[in-house]
Amino acid sequence: MLRTPTGGAGHGTAAAGKRAMSIGTVLTQLRDEFPEVTISKIRFLETEGLIEPQRTPSGYRKFGPADVERLAQVLRMQRDHYLPLKVIREHLEAVERGEQAALPAGGGRSDPTGPPGGQDPGQATAGRIGRAELLAATGATEEQLVEWESYGLIVPATGGSYDAEAVTVARLVADLGRFGLEPRHLRAVKAAAEREAGLVEQVVAPLRRHRNPQTRAHAEATAKELAELSVRLHAALVQTALKASFL
């Protein structure tokens, strides 16, 4: 056990039960800060020993506030420092033992004192990580990454480094893979994303060519807003289509 719940046997009392949350409620709480998190991701972190929610007699997971905070810590260390789960687990265990454990070095977004994660300077730039760090951050194998790249789902930058978006895509592709969706199944998703990006580019292209720096900055802000609206519309349309299929 990584963690002994506060209150020992009393954790299952009615008072504690009032604070217990279902996995769906936990997902809702986390999504403000981690919009990409999924129920399968939470379950995966449980199987990896990062969290240990209580179970009802019928087997349902029940999460307390400490579980939610621990999940948030794990997700932050993955997102902000690109740390592998094994390193995150060891760090949290050290903290729980009362040790003064510094956060391990990972493939962070930027490091003013040197390249992220101790990478070779020729293979890393600010905000990017190398191939080994990407594999560690997502838990993917080299074979999986090669396959994802062959379908164009992950595209390395010049020099072989990867940006934050590549890490996000890799994690989502890995999560979908646990449901049996293979990279070849995701070609339609990629094609749709490229079409949506093309629509956004049509709107902002004239602004980007403008000589005024403020206008060009406005183009970037507009592109970001349009992208967010496009993602929300896409999600809503998928939900609508799914509802229709169950009628």
Confidence at 17, pLDDT banded by 50, 70, 90 = very low
CATH architecture of residue range(s) 124-181: Orthogonal Bundle (1.10)
Mean pLDDT of 15-19: 50
Instruction: Please tell me if the domain spanning 16-96 has the same topology as the one spanning 124-181.
Output: yes
Task: Determine the angle formed by the axes of helices 65-81 and 23-30, rounding to 10 degrees.
Answer: 50
Q: What is the CATH number of domain 16-96?
A: 1.10.1660.10
Confidence at 64, pLDDT banded by 50, 70, 90 = very high
Cβ neighbours around 33 below 10 Å, total: 11
- Residue 184: per-residue pLDDT: 92
In the three-class reduction of DSSP (H, G, I as helix; E, B as strand; rest coil), residue 87 is classed as helix
Mean pLDDT of 201-220: 85
Residue whose pair of structure tokens reads 């493939």 in the numeric block: 107
Ordered by start, the domain boundaries in the chain are 16-96, 124-181, 183-247
Cα(112)–Cα(165) distance, integer angstroms: 21
pLDDT > 50? residue 122: no
